[in-house]
Structure 1
């Protein structure tokens, strides 16, 4: 059984993009360079193979290659979590066991893809995956995108699964944070999973942020979280107000393309995505580029701390 407990995972955990070459093959060297950049900027952990990592477009061996390369690049400096988003519970359990064998620090587990499970089915899925390895698990609740809502009452039922230690709450409703705390106390570490709610949910009790725009603006993301944790509210608000137009890019159905374009414009990787996603074009591309450029033009100078 893992010795990692609720409270051991805190801070900024990027949902890391996967870098692809122009032919859409995985560029492992570029992916390694990107995770090194994030770690050197001061992030507290990494989440690979999530939505931003485009895991659903990858073959099983490709996913293992990404994890192997990430673990090599990180070299134990921060926890590395692997996203588990499979179409069946059986496949998710097999993948969880594979990630433990490769040396991952933990898992971020989603409901089974495609099928919209009811509450009982969803909880049975999380329990099965939890028992497929000894790794600590972050449960990813995103009913907006995936159609399955893990409610505070369901988390109260799941509290007896010892390896479920954290929640990435992406319901887009900040009230959920208080409802979860009222239901389960401090049983789980709570992470904000919506970029443009990072400050609001931190005030309500989140201890971490699964961030997206950190791929483009790592130093600013880390600084914002540190200001929040130190309760330096005036400084945090000022930085957040600059950041918010960029953070809104995280809550669009094309968040992968938007964030990858942003990180390319910031010099942190390629915008190449894997089909069926396509590069942004025309007015949409111009609009996102303008948002990023406005952020770069007004980018605050971060004093050394």
Structure 2
């Protein structure tokens, strides 16, 4: 089976009370996600608080995921500097990961010449297939279809794109330029049905951490072209999926997970746990969703 199909959870990173990684919780969580029909696991991404994890912590997290499930593990590869991103890519290959999700550098965002050099160094450092992660909202770097095509022409192991610009037209644009050369994935929770309609073959999802069965079913209905069924489930799911699209998406999704019995709302600073009206509004959205949870 291709790496680039189905629902790929961008997993949260569970922490112990001292904010060390809770590897036992990681194992249980990823096994549950795969048992519910998810096709792979993506640790160390934005939702996984990758920016607050050290290189050795990321490598250990990768190994835990690889050992826990038979499904592909495709970690996020991002760092402040290119040299560390290259080391992380090599650590992922050594850990037995199946592919890499390659991000632009944290903090520094510049022109295409510099961003291409960074991505090329990471891709060149591995034999693993690479998923390019385009998220201009979070990283202030926007890879155009033409730029993605340059990388695909330069490197055979550039295999897929996770499109998180929030614009489903980008999926259409990449397909028009590259045909079937790259697999295309949706990286924004509330753009799944639109993205699949435009040709996306996989979904890197967030709320799947708490609702895997609903996420898998929504993906299946969308891919099968069962528009009425997909829209009915989508309409129910959208208030939850929109929690993935705001600044405090990590805190929101971790709180939902906690309430569903999978994890704890702990986050690493500079993030802080939700309090007051923000927390209550998230719980209200969850209560409303659970009151009308559809049978699958």
Same fold (TM over 0.5): yes
Paired position in structure 1 for 2:49: 54
Distance 2:282 2:121 in 1: 41
Paired position in structure 2 for 1:90: 83
Q: Structure 2 matches for 1:209-288, cutoff 5 A?
A: 209-288=203-282
Paired position in structure 2 for 1:184: 178
Paired position in structure 1 for 2:151: 158
Task: Give the deviation of 1:117 after TM superposition.
Answer: 2.2
| Count of equivalent residues | 295
Aligned residue for 1:290, secondary structure, equals helix
Contact kept, 8 Å, 1:155 with 1:184, in 2: the verdict is: no
Contact kept, 8 Å, 1:260 with 1:270, in 2: the verdict is: yes
Paired position in structure 1 for 2:58: 63
Are positions 1:292 and 2:286 aligned together?
yes
Distance 1:200 1:284 in 2: 29
Task: Give the deviation of 1:113 after TM superposition.
Answer: 1.2
Task: Give the deviation of 1:157 after TM superposition.
Answer: 1.0
- For structure 2, the 5+ residue unaligned runs are none
Q: Cα RMSD between the aligned structures? A: 1.1
Paired position in structure 2 for 1:201: 195
Paired position in structure 1 for 2:107: 114
Aligned residue for 1:276, secondary structure, equals coil
Are positions 1:148 and 2:106 aligned together?
no
Contact kept, 8 Å, 2:163 with 2:186, in 1: the verdict is: yes
Distance 2:216 2:263 in 1: 19
Distance 1:120 1:185 in 2: 25
Aligned residue for 1:81, secondary structure, equals coil
Runs of 4+ in structure 1 off by over 3 angstroms are: none
Task: Give the deviation of 1:155 after TM superposition.
Answer: 1.0
Contact kept, 8 Å, 2:149 with 2:177, in 1: the verdict is: yes
Write out per-residue CA displacement over residues 105-128 of structure 1, whole angstroms, 9 at most, x where no aligned residue: 111010111111211111121111
If the length of structure 2 is used for normalisation, what is the TM-score?
Answer: 0.97
Contact kept, 8 Å, 2:11 with 2:41, in 1: the verdict is: yes
Distance 1:192 1:230 in 2: 16
